[in-house]
Structure 1
Amino acid sequence: MARQTILLTLANVLIPVAILVFATGFFPYKPFMPGLAVFEEPGWEDTFDWKEQPTPQFDKLVFMVVDALRSDFVYGEESGMKFVQSQIRDGTAIPFTAHATSPTITMPRVKAMTTGSIPSFLDVILNFAESDTSSTLAAQDTWLAQLKAKDGGKLVMYGDDTWLKLFPDFFARADGTSSFFVSDFTEVDNNVTRHVPNELLNSDWNAMILHYLGLDHIGHKAGPKSPNMIPKQIEMDGMVEQIYTAIENEDHLENTLFVLCGDHGMNDGGNHGGSAPGETSPALVFMSPKIKKITEFMDRESPAKPKGEFEYYKKIEQSDIAPTLAGLMGFPIPRNNLGVFIEEFLYFWDDGIDRIQILLRNAKQIKTIVEATYPSLSFADEVKEIDCEKTLTSGEHLACKWQKVVQAMSTVATLHPQMRVDFLYSFLRDAQNTMSSTASNYDVSRLFLGTFLAFVSFGLTFLTLPKLRPISSTAIFYALTLLLYGILMFASSYVEEEHNFWYWATSGWFFYLFICESRKEWFPKFIFHPAIMLLLLHRIIRRWNQTGQKYAGAPDIVHSALFQGSNSIILWCLVGATYMDIMVRLSRHIARSISSLDDGKGKDPVDFESTDINGFIGTIAVLPLTATAFVFKLAFTARDAPELTHGINEGLLQWVGELSLVGVAQMVFSGILLVASWQVLAEWWRSKARKREQGNGDLAVALFDLLALFLVTQTKAENIPLFLLFRSQLFFLTLLDLTPTATTLTTLLLTQTSFFALGNSNAISSISLSNSYNGVSTYNLPLVALLLFASNWAGPIYFSSAGVLLLGSHGRAQRFVAKEELDARDWIAAEREHLEKLVTKESEGRERRKEGSGAWRQHLGLLTLGVSSGLVAVMGACSVLREHLFVWTVFSPKFLYAGAWGTFFHLGISGAWGMVLWGAGKL
C-alpha cells in the first residue's frame, strides 16, 4: 500500500511539471530586435531626388481605446455613437474594421497596436496575471518609445493599467484602473474622463492615451444586448465629441491626430479571447479636420451595412496602426513591425516621390525581418536573375516579390509612381501575411519532454490500480472513454465541439447502468428506474445551454421564451426552489449538530420535543443566510441583466437595487464560513465526548451542502436551476448499486458534462468574469482567481465533491441523500438503531481504515489516470499539429484548458478538497 501511495503521489507531482515544461516549449516569447529604429537612406538615391523624409502631417496624437469596441457598436444602425457617424459623413473621419488576430485579449492586442508585431499566445496567461511585469515592452521599439524619444517628447495615459505594466516609467502623468474589476461600469470610466479636460488645455504632451473599460465590463456582465450598452456608447461618443471639439478650437491642438479604436470585439455572450468574427472585428477611426483633404472620393455612408459578418468599410490588420502613425507623425517605423502603411493616408502627400519613400521605408523595415527568417535567400537591393516560374516556397515567393520591387526602382525602369506603389504594396502585404502566419519558434525538445512526463504520470498511475487488471465491463467502458477522447483531440472540429463527446458518453453510461440493473425487474418498473430518470435529467441538462462553435447560437432552454420577458418569474421560482432546497438541508445539519451535542452530554437524542426545538433552531439559523444569498443574486441580476427580472415586483427590485452588492456578498461568504466552522466544532466535540472511532459522514455531507450554496452564489441566475437538476441526479445515483470503479467513472463523466452544460467551451472567450468580484471591493489576485475558477468550474466542483460522498464506506454514502429526505425524527430513530449495531472492536476499526484508504486511493488513481491520459493526447495533438492552421485558435486554448483541469481542478479539487471531504466523512 505504501508503494502505491508513493507512486500515485509521484504521478500527481509530474502533472504540473509536465504542463509547465510543455508550456515553455509551446509558448516561448518570440525573439525581437532590440533598440529604437532610426531613419536611414531609403536607397536608390541615383534614381530619385530623395528628401530627408516626407513632411509629417501631425505633431500630436490622442489615442483613445474603448475596450471591446466591436465594429457595429460604431458603424451599425443601432449604434449610439452618432457624433462619430456624423464625422464620417462630413469626411473628417476615415473608418476601418481592424482585424485583431487571436488571442483577442487586451495585452496582446495592445502589443500588436504599439509594436506592429504579432504577440505570443502566452500573453493570454500574462493578461490575467495583472501583477505580472515580465511582459514589459520597455526594451522593445514601439510608437510610444519613438514619440518619447523625440525632442520634448512627453506621454500621458489614463485608463487600463495594462499600459502602465507594458510601458513602465514611460508616462509623465498617468492614472491607471484595473481592467479586471468587471463589476464597475461607471467609476472605471469616470476615472479616465475626469483627467481629459485639463489635459486638453495642456500643451506639453505629444501623445495622450485613454483606455476606457466600461463597455467591455458591460459585455462580460450581460452581453452586447445589455440595456446598459447603448448608454455607454452614447457616453463614449460624448467623449469623442469633447476631444474633437477641442482639436478644432485649441490652437496648440491644430495638428493633432485623433484615433478611436477597440483593442478587440466581443462575441454574442459578451466575452472575447477566441477567433469568432465578433471578437476579431474592432472598430478603428482616424479623425482630424485635416483629413477632409483626402476623403473626397471615399465612402462616407454612415451608418453602414456590413459587407460580411461585422466587416464594415475597409478591413485592415490591427498591426497596420504602427507604421501608419510613424508615417503621419514623422518618426521611424518600429523595428519589429509587420504592419503596412494604410494606403488611404498616402494622399496627404501630393508628391509621388514622398509616397514611394514612405512605402519603401516600410518595405525595407519588414525586409530585415524576412531576411532574419530566411537567411539562405537573397534579398539584395540589386537586380538579379531569380527563377520565379518554378514552384516556390514562402521565402522564395517573397524573394521574387522583392526582386520586382528592386527592378521597379532601378534606373532603367520608367514606371509611373503609382505602379511603383503597387509593387511595394504587393511585397508588403505578402510579407505581412507570410510572416504573420509563420509558426512560433517552438522548442520541440521541451514539447516531447512535457508529453513524455505526462505519459510517465499515466504509467505510474496505472501501476497503482491492481483492481483494474481483472477485466470488467466498467473498466472496458472507462478505457474506451479515455481512448476515444485521446483520438478526438487530434481533430480541430471535435475539440471545438468536445461537449458532444461527453454528452453521448454519459448517455451511454446511464443506459448501460439501466441494462445491468434492470435484468430482474418487471417492465412497469422500468419507467421509474433510477438510470432512466438519470437519462431524462441528462437530456434536460444538455439542452440548458448551447455551447461550442457550430451551434453556439442555436435555441436552448436559457434563451427560450420560458425565461424571457414576463416569463422570467418562472426562472426566479426555480432559483428560489434551489435556495429553498439548500436551506432545508442546511437546517437539518444544524439540528443534528445540536442533537449530537446533547448526545455527547449524556442526553437522549431521540427526545422528540428537543428534536422539534432543534429543527426550529436550525431553520432560524440558516434562513437569514440563504435568504441573503437569494437577495444578493436578485440584486446582482437586476443590475447586470435586468431583462431577466421582468415580472418581479417593482418595489422589491427598487429595494434590492439600493443594496451594496459587495457588502451583501461578503455577508453570504461570512455566513457560509461561520456555519462550516460550527459544523466542524460540533462534530469534533461529539467525537471527543463519545470517543467514537469513526463517524457517520454527516460532516462531509454538511460541507458539501455549504459548498453547493457557495457554488450557486458564484453561478449566473439563469444557470442556478441546473443545481436542482444536479441534486436530483445525485439522488438517483444513490439508488444504484455502484462499485467504486463505477462511482469514479460516473464522477468523471458528470464533471465534464456539467462543465459544458453551464455554457462553457474550449474557447477562451467562454470564460465568464461576471462573478469574479462577488464580495471583492478592490482587485485582489488570489481572491479573484479563486472566484473566477469557482464560477467557471462550479458544475465540476459540485460533482467531484459528490463523487467522494458516493464513494463512502459501509453504505453511508449510498444512504446520505435518502437520509436527507427523511423527517428529522425518523432519521434519529434510524441512526440510533444503526449505532446500536456498530461493532467497535479495535481490530475491525483498523480494517475499516484500511478498506477506506484503499477505496480513496483507487478513486484518486482512476481520476489521475484520466487527467494524465488526456494531457498526453492534448500535448501530442499540439506537438504533431503545431503547423496547423488552427493551432492558435483551437489547439492552444485547449491546452490552456487542459492545464487548468490538470492543476487547479484535479490537484486542487479532486485531490486536496476531495481528501478533506473524505477525512470529514470519517469524523
Structure 2
Amino acid sequence: MALRTVLLTVANLLIPVAILIFATGFFPYKPFMPGLAEYEKLGWEQAMGWKEESVPEAPFDKLVFMVVDALRSDFVFGEDSGMSFVQSLIREGTALPFTAHAASPTITMPKVKAMTTGSIPSFLDVILNFAESDTTSTLSTQDTWLAQLRAKQGGKLVMYGDDTWLKLFPGFFERADGTSSFFVSDFTEVDNNVTRHVPEELLNSDWNAMIMHYLGLDHIGHKAGPKSPNMLPKQKEMDGIVRDIYSAIENEDHLSKTLFVLCGDHGMNEGGNHGGSAAGETSPALVFMSPKLKDISQHMEKVSPTKPKDKGGEFEYYRMVEQSDIAPTLAGLLGFPVPRNNLGVFIKEFLSFWPHAADRIRLLLRNARQMKMIVEATYPNLSFEDESKAAGNECEPPLSDGQDLACKWHGVVDTMSTTSRHLTAEHRIDQLFWFLTAAQEKMSSTASNYDVPRLIIGTVLTFVSVLVTLFTLPSLRRITPPGVAYTLTIILYSVLMFASSYVEEEHNFWYWATSGWFFCLFISKSRKEWQSKFVFHPAIMLLVTHRIIRRWNQTGQKYAGADDIVHSGIFHGNTSFILWALVGATYMDITIRISRHVARSILVFDKGSSSEDSQAVDANRFMGVIAVLPLGATAFVFKLAFTARDAPELTYGINQGLIQWVEDLSLVDVARMVFAGTALSAVWITISEWKRNRDRRGEGSGDLAIALFDLLSLFLITQTKAQNIPLYLLFRFQFFFLSLLDLTPAAITTTTLLLIQTSFFALGNSNAISSIDLSNAYNGVSGYNVIAVGLLLFLSNWAGPIYFTAASSLLLSSPGRPRRNIAMNEVDSRDWVQKEREHLERMAKSEEEGRKRRESSEVWGRHVGLMTLWVGVATGSVMVACTVLRTHLFIWTVFSPKYLYAMAWGIAFHFGGTLGLGSLVWRAGRW
C-alpha cells in the first residue's frame, strides 16, 4: 500500500514537469534581430539612372494611433454600424479603409506586437497575455515603429488606455495612463479614462505619436456578445471620439501633417470572444484618415461601403491586408526605416503620395531589402547576392520555399540591372511586390524554432508517468464493461488527437461516448423490477437528460452558429421568464438542501445527537430555512442583477420595476455577500460535524461531504452564466439516477471521466481560446488581481467538471451507504436523530468499520490511479500530435490551443480538482 502511494505520487509529480518542459520547447520566443534599422544605400543608383541616393519625403510627421479593442470590420463598415462619421470620411475620400487580417492567436498582446514590429509573434504570448504583471515579453529591445519615432530628433510618445502597451514598451512614453485590460465588467470608466486626456493632448505640440487603446467595446463583447444592446452606443461613442480628433487635425496648425489610424487589434466571434481563427476574430477594421488622403483616394478599390466583398468572406470589406503591413506602411508615411524584424508589405494604395516613380521604387526596395535579410537568416545556405545568379535550372520547379524566394529576389535584381533600363517603373514595382508578398506568405507560415529535444523529453516523461501509474493499478483478472469502456475511450481519444477536424469538434466524441456508456449501463443493469418500468429505468433517464444537455449549447467550430436551446429564443425577450423560472428552481433546490444541513447543525448545538424532542426538531428545521434563505435569495438577486446589466435581453420578461431595483445594486458587494455567506455556512457546518464526531470511532455519517457538495454547487452556479444555470438541475438528475444504479467503483470512475468532459463542452466550451468566458472572472473583485481573477476564471470555465468531480467523490466515499440519501439529501432532521441513535448501538463493531475504511481507501486509490493514467495518456497523445504535426497548416490555430487546454486539464484541473477537491470531499465523506 505504501509503495503504491509513493509510485502514484511520483507519477503525478512527473506530469506537470513534463508539461512545462514540453511547453518551453513548443512555445519558445522567436529569435529577432536586435537594434534599430537605419537607412542604407541601395546600390542601384547608377543602374537605375538615379542622380543621387535619397529618402522619399514623408507626407506626415505626426501619428494618432487609435486602437479599439475587438473592433470587428462590420462594426465600422457594416450597414448597422454606429460609426457614421467614419463612413462619411470614406465616402468623401479622406479615409482609406481596409480589413486587416489578424493571424491567430487573436489576443491583444500578440496583435500589438504584430502591429508595432510587423512580425509574427510567438504563440507563447497567449499565456503571457493573461499575466498582467508579466514583463518578460517586453519590446523595449526590439525594433518597432514606436522605437523609430522615439529615436527621431525630439521624438516623444504619449499613451492612454490598455496597459499592455506599458508592459511592452516600458519607459517609452512621455505621458501615459494605463487601464487594466482584464476588468471586463467595466464598459464606461475604462474608456472615459482614455477620452479625458484627448482634448488636452490635441492642444499639445510636443509629441509625434499619440496612442490610445479603448477597451469598452471588447468588454461588452465578452459579457454579452456582438449583438448586445450596449454595442451600438459604444460604437457611436467611438465614432464621436474619431470626429473630435479629426476635427482637431483639420483645424489645428500643428496637426496639419498628422496621420490618424483607427484599427482593431482583433475581432470577435458570435459569442463575443476571441483568440481563435474564426472569420469574425481575424477580421478587424483598419482605417487611415487625413485630409491629405483626398488626393490619392481615387486609387482605392470601389466597393460598397456597407457591404462585404462579393468574393470575400462575411467580414471582408474593401481590400484585405495583413496586420503586419501596418509597420512598413507607417515607416514610409512618417519617414523612418522599416523595422528590422518586419514581415509586412507596404500598402500599395499609399504609393500615390509620391508622384515620382523613383521614390516609389526606393520605398519598396528598402522594404524588400529588409525582408531579404530575414529570408537570408532563415535560409543561410542559399545565395541571395545582389548579382543575378538565377540562371539555368536553378529556378526550375520543383523548388523549396527558400529556393523559390531566392529566385524571386534574383528576379528583382534583374529588373534593377543596367540591362533592364527598358522596363517601365510599373513593371519594377510589380516585381518588388511579387517578391514581398511571396516572402511575407512563406516567412509568416514558417514553423517556429521548436526545441525538439525538449519536446521529446517532455513526451517521454509523460509516458514514464503512465508506466509508473500502471504499476499502481491492480492486475487485470477479468474483462469488465467499465474496463472495456475506459480503455476504448483512451485509445480512441489518443487517435483522434492527430486529426485537426476532430480536435475542433471534440465535444462530439464525448457526447457519443457518454451515450454509448449509458446504454451499456442500461443493458448491464436491467433487472425484473425495471422491466415493467422500462421508460423509467435510471440508465434510460440518464440518456434522456444527456440528450437535453448536449443540445443546450452548440459548440466547436463547424457548427458554432447552429441552433441550440440557449439561442433558440425561448430564453430571450418576453419569454425570458421561462429561463428565470428554471434558474429560480435551481437556486431553490440548492437552498433547501443547504437548509437541511444547517438544521442538523443547529440540532447538534441545541440538544446534541441524542435529542428526541420532535418540537425541537421541527423548530430547528424552520430555523435552518430562515438561516439559509437570505443566502439563496442574495445569490439569485446577484445573478439577476448581473444579467440585467450585461445581457438585458434575458430579463425582458421579468417585472421591470424589479429589474430597475437590482440594476442599482453593487455587483461587487452582492457577490462578496454570496461568497461570504457560503464560506460562513461551510465553517458553521464543519464545526458542528466536528462536534458531533469528536467522540465517534466508527464510520462517519457523510453529512459533511454532502454539505460541502451542496455549498460547492451554490458557488459554481454563481460562477456560471444565467442561461447555463438550469443545466445544474439536469446534472443533479444525472447524479440521482447514477446513485440508483449502485455502480461499482470502476464504473463510477469511467462515468466520472465521461461526465467531466461532457459537462465541460455542454457549458459552451471548446478547444478554441475564443470560448474562454471572462464574464464571471470578476465576481466580487473590484480591481485586477492576477490570483483572484485567475482562480475565478478557471472555476467558471471548469465549473461542470468540478461539479462531477465532487459528485463522484461522494459516490466513492462510503461503500454500502444508501446512495439515494447521498444524491438527494433526503434525510430530514428526525431521520438524522434516529440514525445517530442507531450509530451509537453499532459503536462496538469497530473492527468491521475499520475494514470498510480500508476498502474505501483502496477504492479511492484506484480511482486516483485511473484518473492519473487518463491524464498521462491524454496529455502524452496531444504532445505526440503536436510534435509530429508541428509543420502542419493548423499547428497554431488548432493544435497549439489544444495543448494549452491540455496544460489546464493536466495541471490545474487534475491537481486542483481530482487530487485536491476530490480528495477533500472523499475524506469528508468518511468522516
Matching of residue 295 in structure 1 with residue 297 in structure 2: yes
Gaps of 5+ in 2: none
Q: Distance in 1 between matches of 2:5 and 2:821?
A: 28
Q: Indicate whether 1:897 and 2:901 are aligned.
A: yes
Give the structure 2 partner of residue 34 of structure 1. Answer: 34
1:133-212 superposed matches below 5 A: 133-212=135-214
Structure 2 Cα separation of the partners of residues 898 and 837 of structure 1: 50
Between 1:290-299 and 1:637-646, the stretch displaced more is: 290-299
1:444 aligns with 2:455: no
1:806 aligns with 2:811: yes
Helix, strand or coil for the counterpart of 2:175? Answer: strand
What is the CA-CA distance between 1:580 and the residue it aligns to? 0.1
The residue aligned with 1:883 is 887
Counterpart Cα distance in 1 of 2:681 and 2:697: 23
Which residues of 2 match residues 367-446 of structure 1 at below 5 A?
367-386=372-391, 387-413=394-420, 414-446=422-454
Letter in 2 for 1:55: E
Q: Which residue of 2 aligns with 1:316?
A: 321
Q: Which amino acid aligns with 2:746?
A: T
Deviations 1:815-853 (A, max 9, x none): 434662354434543x24641553444433432332222
CA distance in 2, matches of 1:384, 1:478: 62
Distance of aligned partners of 1:489 and 1:834 in 2 relative to their CA distance in 1, 3 Å threshold: farther
Deviations 1:38-65 (A, max 9, x none): 1001121212314420001100000000
Distance 1:506 1:557 in 2: 20
Q: Secondary structure at the match of 2:418?
A: coil
**Cα pair 1:183 1:221 within 8 Å, conserved:** yes
In structure 2, what residue type is equivalent to 1:106?
T
Which residue identity lines up with residue 653 of structure 1 in the other structure? I
Asked if 1 retains the 8 angstrom alpha-carbon contact of 2:551 and 2:564, the reply is yes
CA 469–908 in structure 1, closer or farther in 2 if over 3 Å, else same: farther
Answer whether contact 1:59 1:206 (CA < 8 A) is retained.
yes
**Aligned partners of 2:127, 2:299: CA distance in 1, in Å?**
44
Q: CA deviation at 1:425?
A: 0.2
Q: What TM-score does the superposition give when structure 2 sets the normalisation length?
A: 0.98
Task: State how far apart, in whole Å, the 2-side matches of 1:299 and 1:326 are.
Answer: 23
Residue 379 of structure 2 aligns with an amino acid whose one-letter code is Y
**Matches of 1:818 and 1:325 in 2, distance apart?**
64
1:546-585 paired onto structure 2 within 5 Å = 546-585=554-593
Secondary structure of residue in 1 paired with 2:419 = coil
- Determine the structure 1 residue equivalent to 2:521: 513
SS across alignment from 1:296: helix
What letter corresponds to residue 716 of structure 1 in structure 2? K
Shift of 1:634: 0.3
SS at match of 2:45: coil
Counterparts of 1:835 and 1:277, CA distance in 2: 64
**Letter of the aligned partner of 1:81 in structure 2?**
M
Q: Match for 1:35: what amino acid? A: G
Match of 1:869 in 2: 873
User: Is the contact made by 1:807 and 1:855 (CA closer than 8 Å) also made in structure 2?
Assistant: yes
The 1:834–1:502 alpha-carbon spacing in structure 2 relative to 1, beyond 3 Å, is: farther
What is the alpha-carbon distance in structure 2 between the residues aligned to residue 219 and residue 469 of structure 1? 55
8 A contact 1:89–1:301 mirrored in 2: no
Contact residue 805 and residue 813 of structure 1 kept, 8 A:
no
* Structure 1 residue aligned with 2:731: 726
Cα distance in structure 2, aligned partners of 1:159 and 1:373: 36
Corresponding residue to 1:491 among 490, 499, 506: 499
Check conservation: 1:489, 1:877, Cα contact below 8 A. yes
Match of 1:629 in 2: 635
1:233 is paired with a residue of what secondary structure?
helix
Q: Which of 639, 644, 648 pairs up with 2:645? A: 639
> What is the CA–CA distance in structure 2 between the aligned matches of 1:529 and 1:605, rounded to whole Å?
39
Aligned equivalents of 2:390, 2:861: Cα separation in 1: 71
Check the 8 A contact 1:88/1:302 in 2, yes or no.
Answer: no
CA distance in 1, matches of 2:441, 2:457: 32
The SS at the match of 2:274 is coil
Does structure 1 retain, via aligned residues, the 8 Å contact 2:530–2:537?
Answer: no
CA–CA distance in 1 between the matches of 2:340 and 2:583?
Answer: 56
CA distance in 1, matches of 2:476, 2:666: 54
Q: Pick from 319, 340, 343: which aligns with 1:338?
A: 343
The runs of at least 4 consecutive aligned structure 1 residues that moved more than 6 Å come to: none
Give 1:787-802 correspondences, 5 Å limit: 787-802=792-807
* Number of residue-to-residue matches in the alignment: 919
Supply the distance in 1 between the matched residues of 2:224 and 2:808 (Cα, whole angstroms): 33
Distance 2:547 2:276 in 1: 28
| Cα separation, 1, equivalents of 2:824 and 2:615 | 20
1:62 is paired with a residue of what secondary structure? strand
Aligned mates of 2:646, 2:898 — CA distance in 1: 29
User: Separation in 1 of the partners of 2:452 and 2:281?
Assistant: 31
Go from structure 1 to structure 2 and tell me whether the alpha carbon gap of 1:705 and 1:467 turns closer, same or farther (over 3 Å shift).
farther
Match in the other structure for 2:4: 4
Contact conserved, 1:701 with 1:816, CA < 8 A, in 2?
no
Cα offset for 1:560? 1.0
Q: Contact 1:220 / 1:270 at 8 angstroms: preserved in 2?
A: yes
Contact 2:813 2:923 in 1 (8 A): no
Are positions 1:848 and 2:848 aligned together? Answer: no
CA distance in structure 1 between the aligned counterparts of 2:903 and 2:442, rounded to whole angstroms? 30
Note if contact 2:610-2:836 (Cα within 8 Å) is conserved in structure 1.
Answer: no
Task: Say which SS state the counterpart of residue 171 (structure 1) adopts.
Answer: coil
CA deviation string 1:586-618 (max 9, x = no partner): 000001112233454xx6333211111111111
Measure, in 2, the Cα distance between the counterparts of 1:895 and 1:192: 36
Give the whole-Å Cα distance in 2 for the aligned partners of 1:813 and 1:782.
40
Per-residue CA shift, 1:384-425, capped at 9, x if unaligned?
Answer: 243212311111111110111000000110211111000000
Point out the more displaced range, 840-849 or 641-650.
840-849
Q: Kindly indicate whether residue 265 of structure 2 is the aligned counterpart of residue 263 of structure 1.
A: yes
Change in 2 beyond 3 A, CA 1:604/1:384:
closer
Q: Residue 810 of structure 2 contacts residue 822 of structure 2 at CA under 8 Å; is this kept in 1?
A: no
Tell me the distance in 2 between the aligned counterparts of 1:565 and 1:497: 31
User: Which among 783, 794, 798 is matched to residue 788 of structure 2?
Assistant: 783
How far does residue 811 in structure 1 lie from its aligned partner after superposition? 2.4
- Between the aligned partners of 1:62 and 1:648, the Cα distance in structure 2 is 45
Contact 1:697 1:813 in 2 (8 A): no
Aligned with 2:676 (options 667, 670, 673): 670
The answer to whether 1:591 aligns with 2:596 is no
CA deviations over 1:232-252 (Å, ceiling 9, x no partner): 000000000000000000000
Q: CA RMSD in A?
A: 1.3
Distance in 2, Cα, partners of 1:618 & 1:136? 55
**Is contact 2:160-2:212 (8 Å) kept?**
yes
Residue equivalent to 1:480: 488
Paired with 1:786 and 1:98, the residues of 2 have a C-alpha distance of 34
Identity of aligned residues (%): 70
Query: 2:464 is matched with which residue?
Result: 456
Letter in 1 for 2:473: L
CA shift for structure 1 position 469:
4.8
The alpha-carbon deviation at position 645 of structure 1 amounts to 0.3
Cα deviation per residue 1:678-731 (whole Å; 9 max; x = unaligned)?
01111111122x334442110011011000000000000000000011011101
* Structure 1 gap ranges (5+): none
Contact kept? 1:106, 1:127, Cα under 8 Å: yes
The residue type equivalent to 2:412 in the other structure is V
In structure 2, do the counterparts of structure 1 residues 800 and 359 end up closer, same or farther at CA, with 3 Å as the change threshold?
same
Tell me the distance in 2 between the aligned counterparts of 1:628 and 1:211. 36
Counterparts of 1:297 and 1:323 in 2: how far apart (Å)? 20
CA distance in 2 between partners of 1:733 and 1:626 (Å): 26
